[in-house]
Amino acid sequence: MFDIQNFPTELAERSNHALLNGILRGVEREALRVKPDGSLSLSPHPKELGSALCHPLITTDFSESLLEFITPPSHRRDELFEKLGHIQCFTLQQFSNELLWAMSMPCALPNESDIPVAHYGDSHNGMMKTIYRLGLGQRYGRSMQTVAGLHYNFSLPPAFWAHFHNKENSSLRLDRYRDQRYFSLIRNFRRHYWLLVLLFGASPAMDNSFAAGRQHTLDALNDGQSLYRPWATSLRMGDLGYQSSAQDELFVCYNKKNTYIETLTQAILKPHSAYKDLPIQESSGEYQQLSQGLLQIENEFYSSIRPKRSAKPGETALTALHRRGVEYIEVRCLDVDPFEPLGITPEQSAFIDTFLLWCALADSPESSLEETRLISENHSKIVNEGRKPGLKLKHPEAGNIDAKEWALALIQAMQPAAELLDQANESHDFASALKSQRAVIEDLSLSPSAKLLSKLQGGLSFIELGLEQSRHNLAELESRALCEGQAARFNTMANDSHAAQAKLERKSKGEFSAFLADYYKQYEKLLS
């Protein structure tokens, strides 16, 4: 059912190893700054970390309190984890009385209005980023924006695509062939990413402050201080997490690059009924959102995976994708691993690499609206009751199928991809990662979501467990002290980023409204 047709055995040849050991990967890890009592830090982004607008490695997401660490892309996984460790070690050294929250679901939250929105200065670019976040807060509430995730960036080397372009004797231009194959990967990912949520989901519970004033069907623990679902894997990816009911009506077509761009652009430009009553500007002139579209910009689309292309200054992400095609893909369905100081393990990285390579090599028919509904239904089941014994999912060909049976079949299908990666990298890491996760599927009590829930059921509240794990991770990272040269480089980057922001602010001339109108004209051109 899941075998790769015409499996490319030539990739095992030594002369072709560079096609696989040239994979680039990167991590974007989010983490809240919290006080020692487990409440949200309300202080501004630490100046010592640099400019959140211009620093290449350390920024903020929705809130001033929500840090985001970005590794440069790397061919070597050991280098990737070394860099991620350095970024977090430097960050912690700048704290005086704060912790990095270990969990994906947030710490104890204040009132919605007290959650600080990230501020990026007075340049047009910085104002746009802040207004976009104000719009998110207006549309979905600020609490939802404090949820932390981990994004995994992945690209196959140009020679990989050139090899298959020649092998298939494709009549397409190489760049268009590459785009086509990346979208094939994306469709396969969407069909099967529930497996990643099952294995790596780590948010089966939350503090009751996150659900304050919201309807839910969660069970209570610790006299109501903590809320949970007994078989949940990732509430972060569920209805109470980083999702949007308004976007349920949006069918984004992943069959071709052009259809993907067109459907998202229409969602940006067409005013949406739910947001028409929310003004773009108040009578005072203060902006409340960037637009009244279903999406203010493409980043507002809450997807499990995105095709990406690095944008030039002032260029929209969709314009960059239209002009220069897919550069890499961004996996967005991963929880932060609370039991790992860096938020992700090398073994998890090896498994994801294997899964993505399998998605790239396996047959990938075009998707339909009906399949999209099926994917959504399977996702909801895995998020809310993924560890439930006997859980059934819907397979497009086999109908109702046991989730465990399907998961094991996928692991088996991925085995040749793991062997290819091990041969190319002269390692045993990828096959070992598959073996470890097969054991988790056989016994889901070994999964991060089950481990976390077990600790809560042992008597700790969600906040108590979060603090315990955050302090443990702090001690672990403090033992990895930066050398003097590394610290000096981070200090230089911080100073350079402040200078870059100041330069942008000096260069920003004219009215912001004109800047914003010019920005949105790029979307209009995509439909012309």
Question: If you write DSSP's letter for every residue of 465-525 in order, what string do you get?
Answer: HHHHHHHHHHHHHHTSPPPHHHHHHHHHHHHHHHHHHHHHHHH--S-HHHHHHHHHHHHHH
The answer on pLDDT for 291 being more than 80 is yes
CA 190-193-196 angle, 5° bins = 165
- Residue 254 and residue 187 in contact, taking contact as beta carbons nearer than 8 Å: yes
Euclidean distance between the first and final Cα of the chain, in Å? 42
- Residue 27 and residue 60 in contact, taking contact as beta carbons nearer than 8 Å: no
pLDDT-derived band of residue 415, with 50, 70 and 90 as boundaries? very high
Question: Nearest Cα to 353, choosing from 21, 31, 33, 115?
Answer: 21
Helices and strands (H and E) in the chain: how many: 16, 12
Q: What is the pLDDT of residues 329-365, one digit of tens each?
A: 999 999 999 999 999 999 999 999 999 999 999 999 9
The tokens describing 194, both together, are: 């529930």
pLDDT-derived band of residue 1, with 50, 70 and 90 as boundaries? low
Domain boundaries, the chain: 9-527
pLDDT-derived band of residue 404, with 50, 70 and 90 as boundaries? very high
- Looking at residue 283, what is its pLDDT? 82
What percent of the chain shows pLDDT beyond 90? 88
pLDDT-derived band of residue 213, with 50, 70 and 90 as boundaries? confident
The answer on pLDDT for 398 being more than 90 is no
Beta bridge partners of 399: 395
Question: Nearest Cα to 188, choosing from 419, 21, 410, 440?
Answer: 410
The answer on pLDDT for 48 being more than 80 is yes
- Find how far residue 119's CA is from the centre of its chain: 21
Q: What is the pLDDT of residues 173-187, one digit of tens each?
A: 999 999 999 999 999
The tokens describing 113, both together, are: 């209005």
How far apart CA 528 and CA 261 sit, in angstroms, is 12
How far apart CA 506 and CA 472 sit, in angstroms, is 44
For the structural domain made of 9-527, what CATH number should be given? 3.30.590.20
pLDDT-derived band of residue 157, with 50, 70 and 90 as boundaries? very high
How far apart CA 474 and CA 159 sit, in angstroms, is 41
- Residue 219 and residue 208 in contact, taking contact as beta carbons nearer than 8 Å: no
Q: What is the pLDDT of residues 55-90, one digit of tens each?
A: 999 999 999 999 999 999 999 999 999 999 999 999
pLDDT-derived band of residue 2, with 50, 70 and 90 as boundaries? low
* Backbone dihedral region for residue 123 (phi beyond 0: left; psi -120 to 50: alpha; all else: beta): beta
How far apart CA 439 and CA 365 sit, in angstroms, is 30
The answer on pLDDT for 5 being more than 60 is no
DSSP secondary structure, 76-97, as one string: -HHHHHHHHHHHHHHHHHT-SS
The answer on pLDDT for 241 being more than 80 is no
- Residue 74 and residue 26 in contact, taking contact as beta carbons nearer than 8 Å: yes
216 vs 178: which has the higher pLDDT? 178
- Residue 152 and residue 27 in contact, taking contact as beta carbons nearer than 8 Å: yes
How far apart CA 361 and CA 184 sit, in angstroms, is 9
- Looking at residue 243, what is its pLDDT? 58
Residues of the chain by 3-state class (helix, strand, coil), percent to 5: 50, 15, 35
- Looking at residue 222, what is its pLDDT? 79
The answer on pLDDT for 242 being more than 60 is no
Q: What is the pLDDT of residues 86-134, one digit of tens each?
A: 999 999 999 989 999 999 999 999 999 999 999 999 999 999 999 999 9
The answer on pLDDT for 270 being more than 70 is yes
- b/e sequence 328-354, b meaning 16+ C-beta within 10 Å: bbbbbbbbbbbbbbbbbbebbbbbbbb
- Looking at residue 72, what is its pLDDT? 96
Q: What is the pLDDT of residues 383-394, one digit of tens each?
A: 999 999 999 999
- Residue 46 and residue 65 in contact, taking contact as beta carbons nearer than 8 Å: no
How far apart CA 320 and CA 17 sit, in angstroms, is 30
DSSP secondary structure, 241-256, as one string: SS--GGGGG-----SS
pLDDT-derived band of residue 284, with 50, 70 and 90 as boundaries? confident
The answer on pLDDT for 378 being more than 60 is yes
DSSP secondary structure, 94-156, as one string: T-SS-EE---SS--B---GGGSPBP---SSHHHHHHHHHHHHHHHHH-TGGGG--EEEEEEE-
Radius of gyration over alpha carbons of the chain, in Å?
Answer: 23
The answer on pLDDT for 43 being more than 90 is yes
Query: What distance separates the 2 farthest-apart alpha carbons in the chain?
Result: 67
| Own/partner pairs, 7-13, CB within 8 angstroms, 24+ separation | 7/361, 7/416, 8/164, 8/167, 8/361, 11/420, 11/424, 12/419, 12/420, 12/423
Give the 3-state secondary structure of residue 334.
strand
The strand order across the sheet containing 226-228 reads 205-207, 226-228, 219-221
pLDDT-derived band of residue 525, with 50, 70 and 90 as boundaries? very high
The chain-wide mean pLDDT, for the chain, equals: 94
- Looking at residue 276, what is its pLDDT? 86
User: Residues 23-36: what's their mean pLDDT?
Assistant: 98
- Residue 284 and residue 297 in contact, taking contact as beta carbons nearer than 8 Å: no
How far apart CA 277 and CA 290 sit, in angstroms, is 14
Q: Which residue has the tokens 């009590």?
A: 445
The answer on pLDDT for 445 being more than 90 is yes
Beta bridge partners of 474: none
